[in-house]
Structures are given as C-alpha cells and as structure tokens.
C-alpha cells in the first residue's frame, strides 16, 4: 500500500472565473461575457468578442466598452462601476453577499442596447468526505473517493464533479497535468457514469438535476500511478443557468471535433451577445501520493 499524505482543503465557494471564449461562427464579432459570482472571491468580469479560430487578433482588441456596472438589487439598490484592467478584465475589490440578487449591465459606445443579465447567490454547498480507498488492479491501482452531498430542501440543485491530476517531475521542478479518466456513481439514477475522454481534466455531470432536498452518497474512482502526483477532486454546485452553459459548451466542443454532428447552440443568459452571468459553489479535496 502506497504512503498517502492526505491534504483536505475546503473552499466554501469558488469563483470559477476561468476565461471561456467559445468558437462561434458569426459574421460580425459579438460580445462574450464570463462572470460567475461567489461570496468567497472578489468580483471579476471577463469580456471578449467572438471571432474566427484563425483570427490572430488578441482578445480584448475589439472591445469598445463605455462602462460595466454591477447592481446589487434590494430595498436599497446599489450600483458599482467596475474597474477596467487589461485584456478585457473588469473587477471590483470586494466580495458579493449571500442570498442577494445582482444585475450586470454592460454599455457599449456604439450601440443603444446594453448587455444585461441577473443572478441570485444561494446558500453554500454541503459535502462530507466519507473515506478513500486504493485497490490493486491489473497493471494499475484504482483510487476511490466516497462522499456525501447534503442537498437543501428549498432548491432543486445541480452538481458537477471535477477531477484534476497534477504530477511533479523527478528530474526537474516542472509541474504538469497528466491524463486521467474517471467513473462514478449517480445516486439518483443508480447508474455508473464514465467520462468519455482521457484528459488531464475530467468532469462528470450527475445525471439527475433534482436532488429534492435529500442526502445522497456517491463516489468517483480513477487509476493512479502513485508517483509524485496530487489528485484534486472538486464538487461544484452551480446555478441552473451555469450548469446549462457548461453542459452546452461541452456538447459544442464535442461537435466541433466531430464532423458528423451539427453544431449545437451554447446556452447564454445574456440579453445581447453570448456568455454567462451566474454563481457557483465548490468544495475541494486533495490527495497527495508519493
């Protein structure tokens, strides 16, 4: 049995603020917005314009933005003008609040209609790590993580499991992400789910969208090498619109790489253009193998 140092890191909420610029075939560039709020991170909005994949122009070049505003709605609504940074990034130096509705408003210099969207930040994600085990298989070891999701009784929630494999080179100080494939158990449908690709990063959507306020046990498992690697398991609780955005974006990427499939539309909740304005919670578990 390999020696395992287990590092447990809980991030009550996660900004999920990776830049996502989907390749969208369009005659004219269209504004793409990426902003996912949570109360554990300062506020960031990434703006770009859709463009052809062969266009070498850096992102942010086409932007002609007058101002970006975040409005905290309520009995005493407050409007904040966001600070422009580099490459289409706009920020505010504070964190959003729980159980609060926010509106994003983007005004462009050359158009009358602003780009707008609303989102609501719900309560936190409750996940408990039950245990982890290693079993010997032919040619590799299989690592299994069991955890429990405590769903709240008010909302029908949506969950995503992400897996990262991080390895360190013995010869250099280089850190890289190695390929990984995962399988897991959907507690609602009683089905085993498997990732359909072998990448450095994999994710699994729990098939049933409605947990109905119940407590559910589930697991993920994947092969490990056990040589200077760290496995990162993240459980995400996105709002419905962010869940739909991520799923449709994955389907779009699959279609782009398959000439037999028609390109599906990527979901957006923006009034004009593409992208997402939503919120997402996360808890993270790390397992180190030496």
Regarding whether 143 and 48 lie in a shared domain, the answer is no
- Here the CATH number for the domain that contains residue 145 is 2.60.120
pTM for the full model? Answer: 0.73
Q: What is the pLDDT of residue 50?
A: 77
Percent of the chain with pLDDT over 70: 68
Regarding whether 164 and 142 lie in a shared domain, the answer is yes
The 3-state DSSP class for residue 181 equals coil
Domain count, the chain: 2
Bigger pLDDT: 120 vs 13: 120
On whether residue 230 sits in a domain, the answer given is yes
Q: What is the mean pLDDT of the chain?
A: 75
Bigger pLDDT: 21 vs 48: 48
Percent composition of the chain: helix, strand, coil (DSSP 3-state, to 5): 5, 50, 45
Q: Which residues, including other chains, have CB under 8 Å from residue 281's CB and lie 6 or more apart?
A: 12, 13, 14, 38, 122, 124, 125, 236, 237, 238
**What is the CB neighbour count within 10 angstroms for residue 115?**
24
Bigger pLDDT: 255 vs 25: 255
**Domain limits for position 171:** 124-238
275 pLDDT tier (thresholds 50, 70, 90): very high
Regarding whether 248 and 221 lie in a shared domain, the answer is no
Distance CA 83, CA 63 (A): 15
On whether residue 19 sits in a domain, the answer given is no
- Here the CATH number for the domain that contains residue 246 is 2.60.40
Q: Taking the alpha carbons of 175, 181, 184, 188 in that order, is the dihedral positive or negative?
A: positive
Distance from the first to the final alpha carbon of the chain? 11
Reported as a single tens digit per residue, the pLDDT across 165-224 is: 776 655 445 554 444 555 666 555 556 555 543 344 567 776 554 556 677 788 787 777
| Residue 252: DSSP 8-state | H
Q: What is the pLDDT of residue 107?
A: 93
Regarding whether 195 and 182 lie in a shared domain, the answer is yes
Bigger pLDDT: 277 vs 174: 277
Res. 163: pLDDT tops 90: no
């Amino acid at each position: 049995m390999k020696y395992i140092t287990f590092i447990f890191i809980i991030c009550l909420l996660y900004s999920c603020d990776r830049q996502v610029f989907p390749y969208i075939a369009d005659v004219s560039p269209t504004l793409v917005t990426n902003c996912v709020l949570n109360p554990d991170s300062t506020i960031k909005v990434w703006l770009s314009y859709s463009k052809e994949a062969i266009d070498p122009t850096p992102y942010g070049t086409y932007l002609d933005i007058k101002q970006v505003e975040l409005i905290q709605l309520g009995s005493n609504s407050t409007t904040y003008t966001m600070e422009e940074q580099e490459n289409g990034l706009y920020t505010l130096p504070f964190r959003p609040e729980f159980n609060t509705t926010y509106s994003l408003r983007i005004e462009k210099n050359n158009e009358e209609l602003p780009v707008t969207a609303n989102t609501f930040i719900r309560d936190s994600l409750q996940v408990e790590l039950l245990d982890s085990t290693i079993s010997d298989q032919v040619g590799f070891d299989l690592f299994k993580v069991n955890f429990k999701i405590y769903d709240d009784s008010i909302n029908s929630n949506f969950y995503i499991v992400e897996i990262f494999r991080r390895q360190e080179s013995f010869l250099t100080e280089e850190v890289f992400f190695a390929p990984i494939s995962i399988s897991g158990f959907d507690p609602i449908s009683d089905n085993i789910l498997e990732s359909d690709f072998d990448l450095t990063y994999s994710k699994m959507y729990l098939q049933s969208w409605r947990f109905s306020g119940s407590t559910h046990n589930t697991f993920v498992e994947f092969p490990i090498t056990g040589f200077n690697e760290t496995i990162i398991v993240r459980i995400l609780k996105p709002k419905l619109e962010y869940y739909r955005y991520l799923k449709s974006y994955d389907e779009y990427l699959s279609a782009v790489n398959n000439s037999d499939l028609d390109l599906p539309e990527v979901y957006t909740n923006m009034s004009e253009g593409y992208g997402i304005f939503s919120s997402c919670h996360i808890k993270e578990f790390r397992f180190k193998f030496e």
